[in-house]
């Protein structure tokens, strides 16, 4: 199974990606986790990424794409993967398509998690206090939503044209969202190896 989990900030991509990767033994490719690890280690990349993330902005494509390629080239990704937080722009989606061909991967589907924006802002603002995340202040959250609408929503249209996008209502219990994803994946005959 080779999937992209798609949706706005706070929709639950990370939670669902982790669940799918554990159940199906897939590589979980989270650009957010990659950036947070680099920030924690205070690497030059981490410092650069932090400057963008603290303002709610996207990290430059070249940096993000390079991190993703390293994982797509790994033996773990050959079994399958769940991309979480990438691609976020149409140029990233096009670069991903090139990387997938280069590493002989075929994308099986794009799961689009859907939640009302007011609920997302509530979730993210609460997450900041629980997890002490500087990228979840209310002002930053609203800026991230604006970036999502302007830069990332066109990526969904890109995948809809390729008939890869599957919409899932993610405004319900986590277990119900996971089950809906699994049902959609099964119904769309995405390759699943349990």
Active-site residue numbers? Answer: 13, 88, 127, 133, 144
Residues 6 or more apart from 3 whose CB is under 8 A from it? 20, 81, 82, 83, 107, 108, 109, 110, 111, 185, 190
CB 152 within 8 A of CB 47: no
CB 167 within 8 A of CB 114: yes
Length of the chain counted residue by residue? 194
C-alpha angle with apex 15: 42 to 193, nearest 5 degrees? 110
């Amino acid at each position: 199974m080779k999937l992209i989990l798609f949706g706005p900030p706070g929709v639950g991509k990370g939670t669902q990606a982790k669940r799918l990767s554990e159940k199906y033994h897939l590589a979980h490719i989270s650009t957010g986790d990659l950036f947070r690890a680099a920030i924690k280690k205070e690497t030059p990349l981490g410092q650069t990424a932090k400057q963008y993330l603290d303002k709610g902005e996207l990290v430059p494509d070249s940096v993000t794409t390079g991190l993703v390629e390293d994982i797509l080239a790994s033996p773990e990704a050959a079994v399958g993967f769940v991309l979480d937080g990438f691609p976020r722009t149409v140029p990233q989606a096009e670069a991903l398509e090139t990387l997938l061909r280069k590493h002989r991967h075929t994308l099986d589907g794009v799961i689009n998690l859907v939640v009302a924006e007011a609920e997302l802002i509530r979730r993210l603002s609460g997450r900041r206090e629980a997890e002490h995340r500087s990228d979840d202040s209310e002002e930053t959250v609203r800026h991230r939503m604006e970036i999502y609408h302007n830069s990332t929503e066109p990526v969904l249209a890109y995948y809809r044209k390729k008939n890869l996008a599957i919409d899932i209502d993610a405004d319900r219990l986590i277990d119900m969202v996971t089950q809906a994803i699994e049902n959609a994946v099964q119904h769309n005959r995405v390759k699943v190896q349990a």
